Amino acid sequence: MHPTTLICLPFAGAGASFFRKWSRLTPEGLTLLPVQLPGREERITETPFTDVGAAMDEACPWVCERLDDQGRVALFGHSLGAELAHELTRRLAARGVLVTRLFVSGAHAPRDRSVERISALDDAHFVAGLRRVAGFNHPAMNDPEMLEIMLPLLRADSRMHEEYHSRYLDRLNVPITSLRGADDTLISAGEAVRWAEETSAGFDYVEIDGSHMYLTDHAADLLAVIATALQQAESGSPVH
C-alpha cells in the first residue's frame, strides 16, 4: 500500500488519545493523524465548539501543515466524527488536497437527519439521554467529579451532532465507505447506506462484528477493512 495518512476525527466526548492507542494495530503504510479538538485532554481548558463547520474551519489548517505532499490522504470518523470528517473532507478538497477515500462509521447521512435532541436538558435528563443515544457508557458518567468537568464538552458535542446538516448541493468527488457494527441498534443499515447520496466517486457499505461502538473492541478488524479498501483503490478493484 502506498503511504497513506488516515486523519481520525473523534466521536462525542472522545479525544485524540483514543486513536493513538491504535498505533500498534496500524497496518504497514498507514499513518494515523488524530485531530485534537478544543475542550478535551491537553486542550481541556479551551472552549469546545458547538458547530461542526466552525470546528473544522479551525482544524483544517492544522491538518494541512502535517500532510506529506507525496503521500495519500484518507479520513475516518465515527458518529459525530463522521460528520466532522465529512466537513473536513470538503475543506481539504477546496484547498486542492486529493483525498483518496472518506470512511464514515456509525452515522446518519448528513441530509434529512432525525436525531434525538438532548443537549438542552437538565443535567440528570441529559446524562440519561446520553446513555441512550451514545451507545456506550462514558467513564465520566460513573464519576461525579469527572462528570462535572466533562459535562460542558459532552453538551457541546451533543449540540454539534444535533444541529449538523449538510449545506452542500454538489456531491463529493471522493469515494465513501460507510461502516457499521452489525448489531448496531442506533444506526440502521438503511441509514448507513444513505451516505451513497453524498458521493459521485464510488460507494461501499461494510459491516463489522459488534454494536454501535464496535470500534472499541474491533479496532484491528476496522483497520484491516480500511487498509484493504485503500489497497484495492490502488489496483482499481472494487471494494468489498
Would you please indicate which residues are annotated as catalytic (active-site) residues? 79, 212
Helix (H) or strand (E) holding 102: strand 99-105
Q: How many Cβ atoms are within 10 Å of 79's Cβ, its own excluded? A: 28
Torsion, Cα 102 108 113 116, to 10 degrees, reads -140
∠ Cα 110 5 32 (to 5°): 85
Q: Which residues are registered as beta bridge partners of 99?
A: 73
* Contact between 214 and 181 (Cβ < 8 Å): yes
> Is residue 222 classed as helix, strand or coil in its secondary structure?
helix
